[in-house]
Amino acid sequence: MNPEAGRPETIGQERQRAFAALAASRQAVLAEFARLAFSNILDYVRIDQDGMAEVDLRRVDRDAGAAIDEVIVDYSDPRNGDPPQVKRVRFKLADKRAALVDLGRHLGLFSERRPADELDMSDAELRQRISVGLAALAAAGIDVRSLLPPEPQCAGTAAAEGAGEAP
Asked if residue 46 belongs to a domain, the reply is yes
Asked if residue 57 belongs to a domain, the reply is yes
Number of structural domains (the chain) is 1
**What is the domain range of residue 48?**
40-93
- The 10s digit of each residue's pLDDT in 93-150 is 999 999 988 888 888 887 666 555 556 778 888 888 888 888 888 887 777 777 666 7
Mean pLDDT of 71-100: 88
C-beta separation of 86 from 75 below 8 A: yes
Asked if residue 87 belongs to a domain, the reply is yes
Q: Give residue 159's pLDDT band: very low, low, confident or very high (50, 70, 90).
A: very low
Asked if residue 67 belongs to a domain, the reply is yes
Does pLDDT of 83 surpass 80? Answer: yes
Asked if residue 72 belongs to a domain, the reply is yes
Asked if residue 58 belongs to a domain, the reply is yes
Asked if residue 68 belongs to a domain, the reply is yes
| Buried-state track 124-137, b at ≥16 Cβ within 10 A, e below 16 | eeeeebeeebeebb
Asked if residue 69 belongs to a domain, the reply is yes
